[in-house]
Amino acid sequence: MGKMKELEGKRILVTGGTGSLGQTLVKRILSGEMGMPAKITVFSRDEAKQHYMRLDFMHRNTATDDIIYKNSTDLLNFRIGDVRDYSALTSALREADVVFHAAALKQVPSCEYFPYEAVMTNVLGAQNLVRSIAENNFPVEKVVGISTDKACKPINVMGMTKALQERVLIEANRDSPAAGFMCVRYGNVIASRGSIVPLFVELAKNNRPLTVTLPEMTRFLLSLDRAVDTVFAAISSGRRGETFVPKVPAANIADLAKAVMGNKNLPIVYTGIRPGEKIHEIMVSEEECFRTREFGDYYVIMPVLPELRDSDEFVQALTKEYSSSDNNLSISELRDLLGSADHEIRQFLSSN
């Protein structure tokens, strides 16, 4: 599928743009693969992360085969602000054509201990975005909300707030006919901050036991670039109200630990399930199957409200839930996947 130049000349706002996904997304937008934007604004509340991201991108001004940082310092702007703050978000939205909404509290245990904080960022933040676009008639054309497999049949606070965030964004299509709101939903990103693979690598480097919650535990795995591919697929091919879900491999977490340790014969210690944790993740629920179509490497969930769906006939793509318990990768396949996902992880694996 040839890349559309959807972002050519657009003013882009990335909320939560200093996060792992935000930084990879900005890097890929700057490569020009979706067209060269007029401006990219990173909106987040952490001035230190913004400072280091700015430095990082200023030092990447040499052209490489895959990334051309053409005028990246002129193109890239940073704004301090919190999605919980309606006025700060409104100021940032005033000059945006396309919004990638990645701001979130996403760590499962911290959301369990501070549930209302998760509600404030994940639910109220999305509502502020929707309200600001609707009330001010801003010229926003498209919004893509970044969600998670944990939003599907949620059992933890993070997933519950993300499920509500999805609904707030998708249902916003009714009140803002000029803007198209879509979501993407995906599983664990291999190299993102606080995720399991960097933790395993750190433990294995120091010859410490690798900790796994339960032997049965499985997760979907994808690289940051595959996550961004999903966002780009939604922005270029998605229709209003749709949720894009990538077809990605899943793994047993104990096998993942074995893949990381390689030749090192380190013990695996089972620690028991943590607050709010699922044994298997689901990316498309049984109930959502009936409104899910296939689009190349993706499943596309149509909106829950019938009036937001196209009247086109469609072919139902799934007959049962899309779960991480199915079709798990072997240990050697996992080593190949990990090696392609992240430079530091690749270096560690090649020495083992």
CATH of 11-186+223-247+282-322, one of 3.40.1260.10, 3.40.50.720, 1.10.274.10, 2.40.30.30: 3.40.50.720
Kindly report, residue by residue over 216-240, the tens digit of the pLDDT. Answer: 999 999 989 999 999 999 999 999 9
Residue tagged 């993706």 (tokens): 298
Q: Which of 106, 150, 162, 258 is catalytic?
A: 150
Residue 311, CA distances (Å) to 277, 306, 307, 317 in order: 38, 9, 9, 17
Token pair listed for 80: 């301090």
Digits of tens for pLDDT over the chain (352 positions)? Answer: 445 699 999 999 999 999 999 999 999 999 999 999 999 999 999 999 999 999 988 877 554 544 445 555 679 999 999 999 999 999 999 999 999 999 999 999 899 999 999 999 999 999 999 999 999 999 999 999 999 999 999 999 999 999 999 999 999 999 998 999 999 999 988 877 778 898 999 999 999 999 999 999 999 999 899 999 999 999 999 999 999 999 999 999 999 999 999 889 999 999 999 888 899 999 999 999 999 999 999 999 999 999 999 877 789 999 999 999 999 999 999 998 888 877 778 888 888 8
Environment class of 116 (CB within 10 Å of its CB; exposed 0-12, middle 13-18, buried 19+): exposed
Smallest CA-to-CA distance from 79 within 45, 30, 102 is with 45
SS3 72: helix
Amino acid at the residue 164: L
Q: What is the distance between the alpha carbons of residues 223 and 46, in angstroms, rounded to a whole number?
A: 24
Contact between 60 and 46 (Cβ < 8 Å) = no
Other beta carbons within 10 Å of 21: 24
Smallest CA-to-CA distance from 256 within 201, 206, 202 is with 201
Cα of 110 vs its chain's centroid, Å: 18
Residue tagged 């498209």 (tokens): 142
Respond yes or no: is residue 150 known to be catalytic: yes
Kindly report, residue by residue over 51-95, the tens digit of the pLDDT. Answer: 999 998 887 755 454 444 555 567 999 999 999 999 999 999 999
SS3 137: coil
Kindly report, residue by residue over 185-222, the tens digit of the pLDDT. Answer: 999 888 777 788 989 999 999 999 999 999 999 999 99
Which sequence spans correspond to the domains of the chain? 11-186+223-247+282-322
CA atoms within a 13 Å half-sphere pointing along the CA-CB vector of 75: 24
Residues 245-284: b if buried by 16+ CB within 10 A, e if exposed: bbbbebbbbbbbbbbbbbeeebeeeeeeeeebbbebbbbb
